[in-house]
Amino acid sequence: MSGLWYTEKQTENFGITMKIKQTLHTEQTDFQYLEMAETEEWGNMLFLDGMVMTSQRDEFVYHEMVAHVPLFTHPNPETVLVVGGGDGGVIREVLKHPEVKKATLVDIDGKVIEYSKKYLPEIAGKLEDERVDVRVDDGFMHIANSENEYDVIMVDSTEPVGPAVNLFTKGFYAGIAKALKEDGIFVAQTDNPWFKADLIREVQRDVKEIFPVTRLYTANIPTYPSGLWTFTIGSKKHDPLEVKEDRFHDIDTKYYTKELHKASFVLPKFVKDLTE
Ligand code: SAM
């Protein structure tokens, strides 16, 4: 589909559209419709079930913000789990922390991993690292079978539809609490406040009932619906707003900074209202 425009419908009445240079791969996998295309504006881009997943040009924002906020909040994150994240971007960021001894990735769809390695090498390139254990499995089942195992868990899943529908339930968050160690932290991408306010409100309510420290932070992701993205963090002990200055070590990033670590929790009024 070269020269054509690809539109992602973000609601029934609104979407974003982008000019495609060439289609690289399309396939109906066992779980979702996978498309990889080269776009004029954003480089190679992965779509699942018609939704933008990641692009070569703006991927760093999401992957840095999912990974570095919880990893700098935890004093010594040795074991990390990523649920979803088959494009490899979160794992690449996790490995920038020397404390991490083992990073497990559990994505339900091996085709996402396969085609991300082929067409998004700068995003997926660390999935072969010796500290990484990649498993093709349902993250919901993996969590259900885990106990007191992880310091940090990141839920980098698709939207709460299709295979990811269970990954936004209170039962899943209770399972995450069980899978975490006694001072563990988890973060989940929780979509945008313009079109998914109810989702954010429900997740905040559910997580607050399970974790003593629950917060919401944001980042600007131009290719995601509305461009304003949120992340929900649930922590058994450590507060992301109380990280000591000497905890932040130098790290190679393009978006995350230790100042932004704290500032990203300052919310516009209509977003803050979703957390109360
Ligand atoms: N950053 C993107 C976002 O915020 O929408 C997500 C990118 S990542 C590619 C999403 C991954 O979640 C996909 O590879 C998909 O296969 C995976 N996924 C969906 N449901 C899952 C489940 N139940 N268990 C594990 N992985 C799942």
pLDDT digits (tens, 9 = 90+) for 221-233: 999 999 999 999 9
Q: Do 80 and 44 lie in a common domain?
A: no
Q: Do 21 and 65 lie in a common domain?
A: no
Domain carrying residue 98:
59-275
Q: Do 109 and 123 lie in a common domain?
A: yes
User: What's the rounded Cα separation, in Å, for the pair 254 and 125?
Assistant: 18
Q: Do 140 and 253 lie in a common domain?
A: yes
User: What's the rounded Cα separation, in Å, for the pair 204 and 202?
Assistant: 5
Pocket of ligand 1 (CB under 6 A): 48, 53-54, 62, 83-87, 106-109, 112, 138-140, 156-158, 163-164, 167, 189
Domain boundary among 36, 53, 70: 53
Q: Do 102 and 143 lie in a common domain?
A: yes
Cβ-based burial of 137 (10 A; exposed 0-12, middle 13-18, buried ≥19): middle
User: What's the rounded Cα separation, in Å, for the pair 226 and 191?
Assistant: 10
What is the domain-level CATH number for residue 22? 2.30.140.10
Which mutation among 92, 108, 117, 218 tests ligand 1's pocket best, with the greatest number of atoms within 8 A of CB? 108
Nearest CA to ligand 1 atom 8: 85
Nearest atom in ligand 1 to 167's CA: 23
Residues whose CB falls within 8 Å of the CB of residue 189, separated by 6 or more in sequence, listed in order: 62, 66, 155, 156, 157, 229, 230, 231
- The string of DSSP codes covering 133-189 is EEEES-HHHHHHT--S-EEEEEEE---SSGGGGGGGSHHHHHHHHHHEEEEEEEEEE
Catalytic residue set = 156
Q: Do 19 and 79 lie in a common domain?
A: no
Per-residue pLDDT at 1 exceeds 90? no
Which structure tokens are listed for 227? 């461009």
Domain boundary among 38, 53, 68: 53
Q: Do 17 and 126 lie in a common domain?
A: no
Nearest atom in ligand 1 to 31's CA: 16
Find the helix or strand (DSSP H, E) in which 272 lies.
helix 269-272
User: Which amino acid, residue 51?
Assistant: M
CB atoms within 10 A of CB 48: 25
Domain boundary among 14, 31, 53: 53
Is 159 labelled as part of a ligand binding site?
yes
Is 107 labelled as part of a ligand binding site?
yes
User: What's the rounded Cα separation, in Å, for the pair 69 and 197?
Assistant: 22
Q: What percent of the chain has pLDDT over 90?
A: 96
Number of structural domains found in the chain: 2
Is 235 labelled as part of a ligand binding site?
no
What is the domain-level CATH number for residue 95? 3.40.50.150
Handedness of CA 259, 265, 266, 271 (dihedral sign): positive
pLDDT digits (tens, 9 = 90+) for 18-33: 999 999 999 999 999 9
Q: Do 179 and 207 lie in a common domain?
A: yes
Q: Do 9 and 121 lie in a common domain?
A: no
Cα-to-centroid distance, 62 and ligand 1 (Å): 13
pLDDT digits (tens, 9 = 90+) for 94-144: 999 999 999 999 999 999 999 999 999 999 999 999 999 999 999 999 999
User: What's the rounded Cα separation, in Å, for the pair 20 and 119?
Assistant: 15
Q: Do 38 and 109 lie in a common domain?
A: no
**What's the pTM?**
0.97
Q: Do 123 and 36 lie in a common domain?
A: no
User: How much is the average pLDDT of 53-76?
Assistant: 98
Average pLDDT value over all residues in the chain: 97
Helix, strand, coil percentages (3-state) for the chain, rounded to 5, are 30, 35, 35
Q: Do 95 and 134 lie in a common domain?
A: yes
User: Which amino acid, residue 171?
Assistant: G
User: How much is the average pLDDT of 213-217?
Assistant: 98
User: What's the rounded Cα separation, in Å, for the pair 40 and 18?
Assistant: 8
Nearest atom in ligand 1 to 164's CA: 20
pLDDT at res. 203: 97
pLDDT at res. 161: 84
pLDDT at res. 132: 98
Name the DSSP letter for residue 110: H
Please enumerate, as own/partner, the contacts of 145-150 that have beta carbons within 8 Å and a separation of 24 or more.
146/81, 146/175, 146/178, 146/179, 147/178, 147/179, 148/178, 148/179, 148/180, 148/181, 148/182, 149/79, 149/81, 149/179, 149/180, 149/181, 150/79, 150/80, 150/81, 150/104, 150/179, 150/180, 150/181, 150/184
User: What's the rounded Cα separation, in Å, for the pair 83 and 94?
Assistant: 13
Cα-to-centroid distance, 107 and ligand 1 (Å): 6
